[in-house]
Structure 1
Amino acid sequence: MLITTRNFLARSAAAFSLVAMPVPAFAATRLRFADVTTADAPRSVALVEIFAKEIGANYEFQPYFNSTLFKQGTELVAVQRGNLEMAMLPPSDFAKQAPEFDILGAAYVVRDAAHLNAIFGSDIGEEFRQIAGEKLRVEILAPAYYGARHVNLKGDRKIMKPEDLAGVKLRMPGGESWQFLGKSIGANPIAMDYAETYTSLQTGAIDAQDNPLPNNKLMKFHEVTNQIVLTGHNIGFGLLLMGSKVFDALSPEAQQSMRDAAKKGFAWSTSEYLKQEAELVGFFQEQGLVVYEPDVASFRAYAQAQYLQSPLSASWPRGMLERINAL
């Protein structure tokens, strides 16, 4: 075969380019993450701007918000099957396969953002991590606070204790746990779609609804109600999780870095949520609503007694409520 000068130079250049091309020293571990919330929510910003940067170049964090990768409620199974590496889920999603988690969504069990961090910074949190690992094959990295639910209602009836909510038609999401949550604070819960709530308050089909303050503003519920009672009866939070197979493949140092990065990110987002909540109290007052705090201790005692007398507490680990209350 005749090799021309042009062919020789072309082949030489190609060979040289193969040798000279930089070869990556490693392939970054892909971490696909799914959540139902928007990309601009504080907890989302914390993951993208803090967590992803803290874990370093060894990991390629790929976030999918607004349920664009998996539908709400399917994320846990996706992680277990290896189709997703990370997700942010409420305790109710964990409870579908590990009923012990039900206690974390009950009224007045988690008291506020600080109490949430205390729970997962204690041996109680370690027990829940162990349950998640053994039953669900996932690792809980850190909790992420995103708001306290309060009662928002029509009329001038002052609500200071659970008995004052007797007969009040309170919109709650469907499902036994949500309906019991409404009952546990003394109200008459009505199952209703979120999108129907504004009109139902307007027409008098319901008397009240409960949501975190940012949701109240977003949905303009202040236009059709008179007061907000700062019951704080339920703390909204998610648990950042990673599939056990992925987590267990990391070195102990890398595992700790993951936990530390998550805690750092959520410390920032928690402060943002708390700042929003404080500012919104002033906003609603400017809109003419009466905003006040009831006898929270009375509500807590009533609610916990309701749960302990119901079948919903059957799955709670023995003595867990007393241990959480003592923190």
Structure 2
Amino acid sequence: MKKKNWFLSIAVLGLILFLAACGGGNNEGNESSSNNSNSETASDNEGTDKTFELNFSTASVPNDAHTEGLYTLKESIEEKTDGQVTVNVHHSASLYTQENEAQALMRGNLEMAYVSAPWVAENIPSMSMFTSGYLFKDYDHMTEVYNGEIGEEVFEQIVDELGIRPLGAYYLGSRQLNYRDIGKEITKPEDLKGVTLRMPNTESWLFLGEALGANPTPVDFSELYMALSSGTVDAQDNPLPTVQNAKFYEVAENITLTYHVIDTVWPTINEEVWQEMGPELQEKMYEAVEDARETVDTMNIEAEAELVEFFENEGVNVVEADIDAFMSHVQDEYMNNEEMTSSWDMDLYEKIQDMAK
């Protein structure tokens, strides 16, 4: 009998151990399930741990403020993200030309580039409103629009339609006319009749040239110095800092101050890359963009205050335009072109104009 009880005790103990083992297995299964869940969550948030190498392409030359601003941007991004995001700066159209870089940005072949309203208008016709001459009164007016609520709405539309995201607007300067010896000074629109004026190769830029009164001709920025030197074009328009840094004044020794465009460029990122970054990195990117904007805007504002004297000391003939005559002529050309303005939000146009008062 005792032997029988002993066998029974062994059997019960075995059953208990078996059940404990099964329970342990279930716990291991639950732990495994928990690990899988954590793994999925980590996968969902993997963008926050991922490293990013951003190539930034620009046609601007080394001494341009918006080129200098890219090094501020690079330093600020890499510092704020502890190297999680790095930036390679490619200036002087060394990676993509001015005409090709925006397309590369849209295709995802390039992470970042400067874009501007005239290029955007090629793809979103309503944006041609932001390319019109004398839209902005001055720097303060421009930056209040672009770097405020209106700019946020405009940039979101670009995201939705083109898959690229402008992160702000940098001041390039006020565009002025710079021209070879054409036998006269340019002070009013009539003086531009028959003058071959270089413009970037977009419809909105070319129309602006017509609105000013000139014969616009597309020439890539990288080819502009030679085009002026050879006489392929008579004139070009750019902010004074660009005229200095690209040395256009060496081959076009006349400048007329027209202030016909308060010019900007927009540091822009491919939207897929932006979404991969996640909110934390995005916030740091915005902070870095603001750091670079301060660099660019300050440099150009200070340069414009000094450059007229610089050019005059270099033997350049600098004259003031009849601004009222140019403004009236240019705005009339736009308002009388129904094909150009039919897509515009005229309420927004009037709101922007009112903000200048």
After TM superposition, the score normalised by the length of structure 2 is 0.72
Amino acid at match of 1:79: L
Identify unmatched segments of 5+ residues in structure 1.
Answer: 1-24
Aligned residue for 1:145, secondary structure, equals strand
Task: Name 2:91's counterpart in structure 1.
Answer: 65
Residues 6-29 of structure 1 deviation map (CA, whole Å, 9 limit, x = unaligned): xxxxxxxxxxxxxxxxxxx95422
Residues 255-286 of structure 1 deviation map (CA, whole Å, 9 limit, x = unaligned): 23322221221111121122223322112222
Aligned residue for 2:344, secondary structure, equals coil
1:242 pairs with 231, 251, 269, which one? Answer: 269
Q: Distance in 2 between matches of 1:71 and 1:166?
A: 29
1:48 aligns with 2:79: no
Larger Rg: 2
1:320 aligns with 2:348: yes
Q: Distance in 2 between matches of 1:226 and 1:67?
A: 25
Change over 3 Å in CA distance of 1:91–1:54 after alignment to 2: farther
Aligned residue for 1:267, secondary structure, equals helix
User: Alpha carbon RMSD of aligned pairs, Å?
Assistant: 3.0
Task: Name 2:171's counterpart in structure 1.
Answer: 145
Change over 3 Å in CA distance of 1:48–1:218 after alignment to 2: closer
2:147 pairs with 105, 110, 121, which one? Answer: 121
Change over 3 Å in CA distance of 1:139–1:207 after alignment to 2: closer
- Which range is displaced more, 220-229 or 284-293? 220-229
Task: Name 1:102's counterpart in structure 2.
Answer: 128
Change over 3 Å in CA distance of 1:96–1:221 after alignment to 2: closer
Residues 153-206 of structure 1 deviation map (CA, whole Å, 9 limit, x = unaligned): 44785654434x253514223554333222212344456673222332xxxx87
Q: Larger % of helix: which? A: 2
Q: Distance in 2 between matches of 1:241 and 1:191?
A: 24
- How many residues end up aligned between the 2 structures? 298
- Does the CA contact (< 8 Å) of 1:39 and 1:45 recur in 2? yes
Amino acid at match of 2:341: S
2:230 pairs with 182, 199, 205, which one? Answer: 199
- Which range is displaced more, 184-193 or 126-135? 184-193
Task: Name 2:43's counterpart in structure 1.
Answer: none
1:278 aligns with 2:305: yes
2:330 pairs with 296, 303, 308, which one? Answer: 303
Deviation (angstroms), 1:303 = 0.9
Moved over 6 A (4+): none
Q: Distance in 2 between matches of 1:68 and 1:54?
A: 26
Amino acid at match of 1:210: D
Aligned residue for 2:168, secondary structure, equals strand
Change over 3 Å in CA distance of 1:32–1:113 after alignment to 2: same
Deviation (angstroms), 1:47 = 2.3
Aligned residue for 1:139, secondary structure, equals strand
Task: Name 2:114's counterpart in structure 1.
Answer: 88
Q: Distance in 1 between matches of 2:178 and 2:87?
A: 38
Amino acid at match of 2:261: N
Change over 3 Å in CA distance of 1:111–1:53 after alignment to 2: farther
Give % identity.
29
- Does the CA contact (< 8 Å) of 2:176 and 2:237 recur in 1? yes
Aligned residue for 1:316, secondary structure, equals coil
Aligned residue for 1:319, secondary structure, equals helix
- Does the CA contact (< 8 Å) of 1:143 and 1:240 recur in 2? yes
Task: Name 1:8's counterpart in structure 2.
Answer: none
1:255 aligns with 2:253: no
- Which range is displaced more, 170-179 or 240-249? 170-179
